[in-house]
Amino acid sequence: MGTQELSPPRGRFVTLEGGEGAGKSTQIRRLGERLRAAGLDVIETREPGGSPGAEEIRGLLLGGGVERWDDVTEALLMYAARRDHLARKVWPALARGQWVLCDRFEDSTRAYQGAGSGLDRAVIDALGQVARADFAPDLTLILDLPVSLGRARAAARRGLNDRFEQRDDGFHERVRQGFLAVAAAEPARCAIVDASLALDDVTDAIARTVERRLGLSL
């Protein structure tokens, strides 16, 4: 009898979400370090972007003035980038058994284009079905903090330069509430982390949540 080649176990897909200045990029890097120390094979990526084609679309989405795209065009570009990112980077990595940590995913579309800009949720859901079918994160960590604090952090870090950072406080408050609504609607997938805490405290809170939700020891 011949031997059967075993496929590697499917990895895990963990997304970090939140408004401007929430510290997602820093916390993804720190979580990646802890997961690697625990012996896991981890890659870090982002949206929009993460693959060559998606990074080109990212430039279109973030550059220019606030009114460069209407809401539907903006969402179409987001999902074009998302599909390319999934097909070329995320899904192959998961099939290899890697853990994928992603700075933003579809909840950002729901919060920014949906709650923030007022795009109908039915449009977002329809585009999502085309781009990702039933695929969803194993865990979503929503880094929450007051809009005023987040925008101050973002401005201090690099200025409010991209199209989304230039939007007014009312827009960003709607975005924050959009993220909180996602967490309330999907508590099995989502966990809220207080991003107003000190940097190390946020890192520890994320690690505890990952341990509890995904059965790890970090």
pLDDT tens digits for range 16-74: 999 999 999 999 999 999 999 999 999 999 999 999 999 999 999 988 877 888 999 99
pLDDT tens digits for range 66-109: 788 899 999 999 999 999 999 999 999 999 999 999 999 999 99
In this structure, what token pair is assigned to residue 119? 């795009």
Sign of the four-CA dihedral 46, 25, 146, 161: negative
Q: pLDDT band for position 2 (50/70/90)?
A: very low
Which residue has better confidence, 177 or 10? 177
Q: Which residue has the tokens 């853990």?
A: 99
Q: What is the DSSP annotation of 59-108?
A: HHHHSS-TTSS-HHHHHHHHHHHHHHHIIIIIHHHHHTT-EEEEE--HHH
CB 218, CB 210: distance < 8 Å? yes
Burial 177-199 (b: 16+ CB within 10 A, else e): ebbbebbeeeeebbbbbebbeee
Q: pLDDT band for position 1 (50/70/90)?
A: very low
Average pLDDT over residues 123-151: 96
Beta bridge partners of 101: 14, 44
pLDDT of residue 81: 98
pLDDT tens digits for range 141-183: 999 999 999 988 888 876 557 778 888 899 999 999 999 999 9
CA–CA separation, 42 and 93 (whole Å): 9
In this structure, what token pair is assigned to residue 169? 């406080």
What CATH number has the domain spanning 13-213?
A: 3.40.50.300
CA–CA separation, 70 and 176 (whole Å): 21
Q: pLDDT band for position 191 (50/70/90)?
A: very high
Over 60: is that where the pLDDT of 3 sits? no
Of 8, 62, 20, 31, the C-alpha closest to 140 is 31
pLDDT of residue 161: 73
CA–CA separation, 192 and 206 (whole Å): 9
Q: pLDDT band for position 5 (50/70/90)?
A: very low
Over 70: is that where the pLDDT of 4 sits? no
Prediction pTM value = 0.92
